[in-house]
Amino acid sequence: MKTIHLSTLLALTPAVLAQGLRQATGGPEATTTIDRYPTPTPEVSNCTASLITTLCEYKEPGSAFAVASSGKAHCWEYCNANQPCNFVIFVAGNPYTGTGTCWVYPDETFDASLGKPGCDYLSVYDKPVCAEPTATSGACTATASPSAVASVCAYPTPDDDCFYTCTASSGATNCLSQCAESESCNYVVFNPRNSDNSPFSSGTCWMYPNGTYDASKAGLCSGTAEQFVYENPCPKPKPSSEPSGSAAAASSGSEPSATGTSTGDVNAERASAGAASPSTNVNGVASGGVSAGSSLLVSLVALMWQGLR
């Protein structure tokens, strides 16, 4: 009797399994290959940015400025669309999908002393350059990078107590854009309504159609400023206060005659020429017509009297 040792059986097992797989699939080898570590899909973007450095740690932004990102290119586009943004940090998440978190720091510049080097967990990029212009969220480009003229507390609402002049806003840029698009807006006060008390996140926008910012009306702050004041960088031209000649004539309630003579002068000329005045009697019949009728009646009576004689 032929004896097969266990070591020989174990050596033959892979070959037997491979043969069984070929027979089961009908091909020379397995038809499906599973990639345990997929390569991230290449990103397509109209923005580019230069890598400043890589870090292990950096000062984290406010809660409103850490957003989920599908990749580095998306992070650049987000920075471009949310001005002012001078640099951006991409926080790597899943290395096989390329996703992560985008950190933005509105109106700040990168400070290397706030970071810890030594690894590539954080990728710091400078201000992105995009084929499309920076979003302005409105009709005036000057509103894209607002600069507050004052940071205050307890400034009073507009004169109508916010009945028409106060709106919800996604940030100071949007607030100034609303001001630029309104019929009349001289300056705004942006009131942050977010945990970071930042003018670059959500809040309310107070628009002042008249006057200028008055620092004497502001109250004292017990802590950080709670309101940010911005002047309208692109006011609309005011309409002319002097009406034109035709508008003045229309507003006076009388129409000028074709010859430029007033109605009273026309009546005076008619009277001097012996023409009947266009005055009206109580029955609505022109007095001139009544006089003509009376003369005709007198003439007929005289004629009949001659015939009877």
Distances (CA, A) of 28 to 11, 23, 31, 32: 21, 8, 9, 12
Nearest CA among 221, 233, 146 for reference residue 190: 146
Do 54 and 97 share a structural domain?
yes
Q: What is the pLDDT of residue 286?
A: 40
Residue 67 lies in a domain: yes
Do 117 and 153 share a structural domain?
no
Helix, coil or strand: residue 239 = coil
Domain residues for 110? 47-130
Q: What is the pLDDT of residue 41?
A: 63
Q: Pick from 92-106, 254-268, 292-306 the range whose average pLDDT is largest.
A: 92-106
Predicted confidence band of residue 237 (pLDDT cuts 50, 70, 90): low
Residue 240 lies in a domain: no
Residue 270 lies in a domain: no
Do 121 and 51 share a structural domain?
yes
Q: Which of 98, 130, 162 is the last residue of a domain?
A: 130
Specify the residue for token string 């960088």. 233
Question: In angstroms, rounded to a whole number, what is the distance separating the alpha carbons of residues 264 and 249?
Answer: 17
Residue 203 lies in a domain: yes
Do 125 and 181 share a structural domain?
no
Question: In angstroms, rounded to a whole number, what is the distance separating the alpha carbons of residues 54 and 260?
Answer: 84
Question: In angstroms, rounded to a whole number, what is the distance separating the alpha carbons of residues 170 and 97?
Answer: 31
Is it the case that residue 287 has pLDDT exceeding 70?
no
Q: Which of 87, 107, 130 is the last residue of a domain?
A: 130
Residue 165 lies in a domain: yes
Task: Indicate the number of domains in the chain.
Answer: 2
Residue 27 lies in a domain: no
Residue 296 lies in a domain: no
Question: In angstroms, rounded to a whole number, what is the distance separating the alpha carbons of residues 284 and 304?
Answer: 31
Q: Which of 231, 262, 277 is the last residue of a domain?
A: 231
Predicted confidence band of residue 62 (pLDDT cuts 50, 70, 90): confident
Tell me what the pLDDT averaged over the chain comes to. 74
